[in-house]
Amino acid sequence: MTSILMNSIHEVIDQYINYLIVEKGLADATIDSYSSDLKKFVIFLKSCRINLIAESDTTVILKYLILLRNEGLSTRSRARHLVTLRGFFKFLIQEKVLKKDPTRIVDLPKTGIKLPDVLSIEEIVTILNTPDTSKPRGVRDVAMIELIYAAGLRVSELIHVKLQDINLEMGFVRTFGKGSKERIVPIGSQAKEKINDYVTHARSILLKNHVSKFMFIARAGKPMTRQGFWKLLKKYAKQAGINKKITPHSFRHSFASHLLEGGADLRAVQMMLGHVDISTTQIYTHVARDHLKKLHEQFHPRG
């Protein structure tokens, strides 16, 4: 995959505009609005210290749309910006500059900016209050939901969390994302409390006489499966009266959306999601950990 440096992005935009003129035959006014939108997007990327167009992932697009909203742009204007970006990134994929389109799953409904299936804070709280915590499985389920939302984990990361991966005293979870890349993510006070309740009062009951290195276990000491957790979420969402299509990934999207809308730093959110390459030594520095922890406590609804 070829990455376009910021000092040549204008050349790529010129190529895209030429493509719109020659092959699409768009009107001059439309071309001018596309050019203006892309110029504003490049200024935004530079303000975020983004030097490669390949770093423009879904989180970046969402942050940009939130910026436009905060600047007072109407829903129609923000929709136009999104259409511009979709066309531009589609062109980059067509020209084999990029492999993935960061705008593909971003939606702009009439009510504002959100990712598909993003849950409101109130909906997440309602789901968390649904499991029967008088039973060990209910305690486990609450801990799992708190963790996937608190740390923005993928479901595959959640079910593979081991006992040693969570530091309740420091308030961090260690996880391994795509390509086995390790990252450290703050988990907040609510998740710490629920995980501690689960480990202290419920996990040994669920284990019975079995032994497991995994944090969240199902029957016979086996780890929870992706399908098993998904079924639990759908059950609790139905019981909570939430009609949205909810998947485990909805909580990851909600994690990013709620932090960004709360004013969190884009780079820090990317780091927590594992969207950017950060070396292990950088992640393990006390400065980085303290910064992420304070940011999580400040901006995460359940931090």
Catalytic annotation, pick one of 90, 249, 267, 291 = 249
Q: Is 78 a catalytic residue?
A: no
Maximum C-alpha span of the chain: 73
What residues contact 274, with CB distance under 8 A and at least 6 apart?
A: 175, 177, 178, 181, 183
Instruction: Assess whether 249 carries a catalytic annotation.
Output: yes
Q: Which of 78, 192, 194, 252 is catalytic?
A: 252
Quote the tokens at residue 193.
Answer: 């409390």
> CA-to-CA distance for 44 and 46, rounded, in angstroms?
5
Marked catalytic residue, from 46, 104, 135, 178: 178
Sheet of 182-186, strand order: 166-167, 172-176, 182-186
Neighbour count for residue 186 (Cβ, 10 Å): 25
Give the C-alpha distances (Å, rounded to integers) separating 132 from 128, 135, 142.
Answer: 10, 6, 9
Residue whose tokens read 């970046």: 60
Helix boundaries (H) for 95-154: 121-128, 136-151
Chain position carrying tokens 């879904």: 58
- How big is the CA angle at 86 (ends 83 and 90), to the nearest 5 degrees? 145
Active-site residue, selected from the candidate residues 80, 81, 140, 154: 154
Catalytic residue, chosen from 80, 140, 160, 275, is 275
Q: Check if 178 is active-site.
A: yes
Q: Is 284 a catalytic residue?
A: yes
Q: What are the Cα distances from residue 181, in Å, to 5, 171, 221?
A: 24, 20, 27
CA angle, 183 then 150 then 185, to 5°: 20
Q: Could you give the residue numbers annotated as active site?
A: 154, 178, 249, 252, 275, 284
